[in-house]
């Protein structure tokens, strides 16, 4: 469930708390795969030395996490009734980074790593590929839910603005 429909009798403060709770739960689900990717990057960097593949995996997870946080913050700020601010536009444009990172994880670390089947044992590349595809999908789905929360908040705000302008819904 992305975000249950709030009661139409909520005050602005209660609506803000409702969106904040929904956003934090969704961001919590999105953070676990990112933490796993940072841990894998760190462990492999210590184990095999600095490798650009593992640096991209870890740095991408950090960038995706930061942009996910700021994208979620936009929804919460707007739900509490704060007007749009200049940083919100930059955070919204930066919202493409988690999608690109998910594509990188699923495509390169997941599907493309299947090419290792002929180079090593049969089972390990399949397990590795499945792991990265699953975690990449979990992150992508959680981030998509976060963007849906933002869309719902914008819809509620636009209905409220329309009501204030004409006096009708």
Across the range 1-21, mean pLDDT stands at 73
pLDDT exceeds 70 at position 134:
yes
Each domain of the chain, given as residue ranges in start order, spans 12-166
Give pLDDT tens digits for 22-67: 999 999 999 999 999 999 999 999 999 888 889 999 999 999 999 9
Across the range 142-157, mean pLDDT stands at 90
Q: What is the pLDDT of residue 157?
A: 80
Q: What is the pLDDT of residue 167?
A: 47
Give pLDDT tens digits for 64-98: 999 999 999 999 999 888 888 888 888 888 889 99
Q: Name the nearest CA neighbour of 16 among 88, 87, 84, 77.
A: 77
């Amino acid at each position: 469930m992305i975000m249950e429909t709030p009661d139409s009798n909520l005050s602005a403060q209660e609506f803000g708390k409702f969106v904040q709770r929904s956003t934090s739960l969704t961001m919590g689900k999105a953070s676990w795969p990112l933490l796993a990717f940072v841990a894998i990057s760190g462990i492999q960097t210590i184990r095999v030395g600095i490798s650009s593949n593992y640096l991209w995996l870890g740095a991408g997870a950090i960038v995706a996490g930061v942009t996910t946080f700021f994208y979620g913050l936009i929804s919460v700020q707007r739900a509490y009734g704060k007007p749009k601010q200049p940083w919100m536009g930059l955070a919204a444009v930066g919202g493409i980074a988690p999608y690109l990172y998910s594509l990188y994880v699923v495509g390169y670390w997941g599907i493309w790593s299947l090419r290792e089947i002929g180079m090593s044992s049969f089972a390990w590349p399949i397990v590795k590929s499945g792991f990265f595809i699953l975690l990449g999908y979990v992150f992508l789905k959680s981030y998509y839910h976060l963007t849906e929360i933002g869309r719902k908040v914008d819809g509620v705000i636009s209905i409220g603005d329309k009501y204030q302008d004409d006096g009708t819904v």
